[in-house]
Amino acid sequence: MKKLFPLLACVAMFACNKKADDPNIAKITGTWELARFIGYPGNINYPAGNGHILVFMGDGRFDKKDPGNATINGLYVVGTKDDCSARENNTYLIMNKGSFKQEGYLSFNAAGDSMTIGSSNCVADGGTYVYKKN
């Protein structure tokens, strides 16, 4: 029993993480609609109500909704990482499902009602998605 208690204490300590206390999680939590894509083949502006929606929950889950496709449910992680070239914001996002999964880690910045998600600057021809908070 004496050996079991420290093990249980460690498990309990790691199980009770406080993702919601992370300021980056607080910034990203909510419902976001795609407003613009910047990259190849050019800039695309999306009208309000277009149905391209990302919903981030404070517990590390997300839903990605696109018109005509099934909703994708997955997990995400937010952290900081030095990129290939210096950038002002080194916050990254990793999503385990959907089209963003193939990108690996993504740079992201959320401020007020706007969020950008883009390829790492290690990728020469990456694009940037601009979302507006609903």
Whether 84 is in a domain gets the answer: yes
Instruction: Tell me what pLDDT residue 103 has.
Output: 60
Domain coverage including residue 85: 18-133
The model's pTM is 0.76
Whether 13 is in a domain gets the answer: no
**Overall number of domains in the chain:** 1
The mean per-residue pLDDT over the stretch 92-100 comes to: 81
CATH number at residue 92: 2.40.128
Whether 124 is in a domain gets the answer: yes
pLDDT tens column, 98-127 = 776 656 778 888 999 999 998 877 776 778
State how far the alpha carbon of 3 is from the alpha carbons of 10, 18, 115, in Å.
Answer: 12, 27, 47
